[in-house]
Amino acid sequence: MRRLRASSLAASLAGALAGLLAAGCAVGPDYKRPDAPVPAGFKEQPPPGTWKAAQPDDAALRGRWWQLFGDPQLDALEDKIAVANQTLKAASAQYLAAQDQVRVARAAYFPTLGAGASATQVRVSENQPTFVRGISKRDYTLFALQGQAQWEPDLWGQVRRTVEQARAQAQASAADLANVELSLRAELAADYFQVRGLDVQKQLLENTLASDADALQLARVRFQGGVANAVDVAQAETQYRTVKAQAIDTGVARAQFEHAIATLIGVPASSFALAASASTVAAPPVPSAVPSALLERRPDVAAAERRAAAANAQIGVAVAAYYPNLNLSATAGLQSGALGTLLQLPSLFWTLGASAFQLIFDAGRRHALTDQARNLYEAQVATYRESVLVAFQEVEDNLAALRILQDEAEAQSAAVEAARQSLALSNKRYKGGVTTYLEVLTAQTIQLSNERTQADLATRRLLASVQLIRALGGGWQAAR
């Protein structure tokens, strides 16, 4: 009969619990992606492409975008980023920790179970009301084996909102990881092109230095022959020494960029060297219509949107605190005064219980926490919208830079050609005794300046291409 009553009680509790869970709901607002200011097209890319209000999809494959530049040495350096960069490893560990937090939150869906054993020596007070002299035992040993279960059903969705928040935070962490990798790879490419630009600059200076050495020798011969004066020799030597100093000076910036690359690929700066090379690569052409995937591929935009979702879930967690909590518990085990009888059926004991708790007064704490959660959500929405605006600004900036630098490069190419012709004429006039060396010196300075500007423009175009790729979330090619 006792066993039948216990089964009936357990069935009643299970039925009541099922009814409560069926009636349960997740309080707080359901998340809806915030609107963001998305333009119809780019001003700097006529005719404007068709742009849709994209949805964050930072997990899409971006491909090996650096291969657009066709530089095998850059490809080899980029491959080392994923293997050895410590910043990327730290971001990866943070992402794994965020995934672990999702598992922590999900654990609250399930009951907690525990088990234990005990042996207790007891002496009972002879003066307590239940003690009967001559009948009750004053000293005895109590052995016990027992298990316990506790569960707090998620009636108001507090656990569901917590899991929702943790999942959104994990997705934001994944986007952060993608953004770190994209930034590191873009920084490596930029540093590499800066090094190559300085190599070109130094090659120009060394070529000019060789010409200046010949000019200095010519000025000395003419001076010794009485055709030129000492001023020509002094001017030629000044030009030679100046260009030599400029050639040496390029080593300062080159060494710094080389050291930066070493850190990016995870090796000590003292053990890394990048051989000089004056070979150049061209900036990849930008297609006339960039795919409408900016918001889908920008990891920082995706991270901001996911954090807005997490902040929205926190509102539900705060609102759930207004509702009562239900706690279910059960304990069962074996208890006996002798080890020999511990595992017998009469030693069995159990308890089932349920309790509910409703907070009545907390001096406005729950209200303040709810207001705080709503305000933090609005802050995250504003951050998301700002990230969208910044994303489009960066694309516009670099599209404009590429367009303007291309026009400037064409004009500069004509200037270099004119400067070379001017120097050739000045050299011919000086050798013919028609003019002084000052005219040659002026023409040399103008030519070198124009050639260095041309080399600098080529580097700036490569850097603008890298930044455009970064602004587009990893290139303009479709995921593959």
User: What are the backbone dihedrals phi and psi of residue 113, each rounded to the nearest 5 degrees, phi first?
Assistant: -120, 140
Phi, psi at residue 41, to the nearest 5°?
Answer: -170, 180
Confidence of residue 3 (pLDDT cuts 50, 70, 90): very low
* Residue percentage of the chain with pLDDT more than 70: 88
* Long-range contacts, 114-118 (Cβ 8 Å, 24+): 114/147, 114/148, 114/149, 115/145, 115/146, 115/147, 115/148, 116/145, 116/146, 116/147, 117/144, 117/145, 117/146, 118/142, 118/143, 118/144, 118/146
pLDDT confidence bin for 40, thresholds 50/70/90 = low
Tell whether domain 24-111+154-324+364-471 is in CATH 3.40.50.10310.
Answer: no
* Residue 357 scores a pLDDT above 80: yes
- Counting residues of the chain whose pLDDT is more than 90, the rounded percentage is 65
Using one digit for the tens of pLDDT, what is the confidence trace for 244-292? 999 999 999 999 999 999 999 999 999 999 999 988 888 888 765 554 5
Q: Residue for token digits 């200095």?
A: 216
Q: Could you tell me the pTM of the whole model?
A: 0.83
Q: How far apart are CA 404 and CA 105, in angstroms?
A: 52
Q: Where are the domains of the chain?
A: 24-111+154-324+364-471
* Position 297 confidence tier, pLDDT thresholds 50, 70, 90: confident
Mean pLDDT of 299-313: 95
